[in-house]
Structure 1
Amino acid sequence: MKSKILMVLGSALLLTLFVFPLWKISLSAPQYPTRDLGMLIYIYKFEDDQPHDIKNIDILNHYVGMKEIPETIPEFKIFPIVILVMSIAGILIGIFKEKNWYLGWFIVMALCAAAGMIDFYLWEQNYGHELNPMAPIKILDDNGNILGFSPPFIGSKRILNIDAHSYPALGGVFLFIGMLLTFVAYLIAPKKK
């Protein structure tokens, strides 16, 4: 019975991604000495951490030739569907199925999460390296190539005089906890007789 509760609860925690941001990227810049600029990434939108943050990030990025942060990306149509389907499937599996189904759900969800993380990494790389050659400021590496400005995938990174930080937000923490609970559910579930 405990395993069923954990499976249902863990799967239901995925639904918090519709309320809380999955990830947060923030910049500490000398141009903004009183506060960091932050961008919250939900599964369906980008949002300012504080009013006008994305606009100010775009202003900073313009000088080195980075594109503006888009209003939307194709993933914002896909991610909510995946999360909703996986959450409902996990809840139903928790109620009606046994141990092996828990592991199957966990593996599929882990693959979906890994695909999302790879997509996020590739988006950051593209965003930080496909620079406008007509940008007002061009910083070259030792070989004379224009230096890229991708934020870190996770953690902190100094980019010129700006510190970029990239970490899971509350929704990302709930996602991790939810997946952990479903794996524990698999571990403690009784074997099928």
Structure 2
Amino acid sequence: MKKAGIIMIIGALLLLGLFKFPLWNIMLGAPQYPEPLGMNIYIQGIEGVEEFDLQNIDGLNHYIGMKTIPKAEEMWEFSVFPKVIIGMVILGVIIGLLGYLQKVSYKYFLGWFILMSILGLLGMYDFNNWLIDYGSNLDPNAIIKVTNPDGTPMSYKPPLIGYQKLLNFDVDSWPHIGGYLMFVGMTLTIVAFWVGKKAGLKKTTQ
């Protein structure tokens, strides 16, 4: 269990990378922009990939009636998410330490993973709802109005993940370094569970 406890601690600590690196990245490329415009989404707010990217994206969005990209203080998520991550890191380290000291079962490692997975899915659901509102709740007095073939207003919702063509823009939405660190950290907690389970089975057969 000592080895499993150490792996669990490392896995939980990797979540701290979310405070340094972006969780997600959205890039917009078009013929009129030799360098794509992009925004990095952190758990504390949204920043442009380059200095004036957010300003340029807001300028383009204005013509089709989209809202401006929200500042950190305008979304409750950016104040709640950091607290959730810190709480999960502390909980993961405590479980890892108790596992190292053989005070808790390896099943607690799996419990942490399940809880983190639920929180992650809720976060993705909330993020997708924001994208829907961002791309669909348009100003009816916008300068440019584009409709679908059936006459309904066109949605400019960026993809939650993957590639999508929006008018003349190529939009890519993928996890960034922070997201991959979180994935690796969560994977390590599953590894800790299996290592702990193996150690427990070995102990019972001796």
Give the residue type in structure 2 aligned to 1:89.
L
- Corresponding position: 1:139 with 2:146: yes
Alignment RMSD: 1.1
Matched residue pairs, number? 192
Match of 2:101 in 1: none
- After TM superposition, the structure 1 = structure 2 runs for residues 96-115 of structure 1, keeping only pairs within 5 Å, are 96=98, 97-115=104-122
- Corresponding position: 1:75 with 2:77: yes
Q: Equivalent residue of 2:55, what SS?
A: helix
Match of 1:35 in 2: 35
Gaps of 5+ in 2: 99-103
Identity %: 45
Distance 1:44 1:177 in 2: 21
Q: Which has the larger radius of gyration?
A: 2
Q: Equivalent residue of 2:140, what SS?
A: coil
- Corresponding position: 1:130 with 2:137: yes
Match of 1:87 in 2: 89
1:60 Cα deviation (Å)? Answer: 1.1
**Runs of 4+ with >4 A deviation:** none
Distance 1:67 1:158 in 2: 20
1:176 Cα deviation (Å)? Answer: 0.3
> Normalised by the size of structure 1, how large is the TM-score?
0.96
Match of 2:16 in 1: 15
> Normalised by the size of structure 2, how large is the TM-score?
0.90
Gaps of 5+ in 1: none
Match of 1:47 in 2: 47
Distance 2:137 2:36 in 1: 25
Q: Equivalent residue of 1:36, what SS?
A: strand
Listed one character per residue, the Cα deviations across residues 98-123 of structure 1 (whole Å, up to 9, x for unaligned) are 30111111110000000001111111
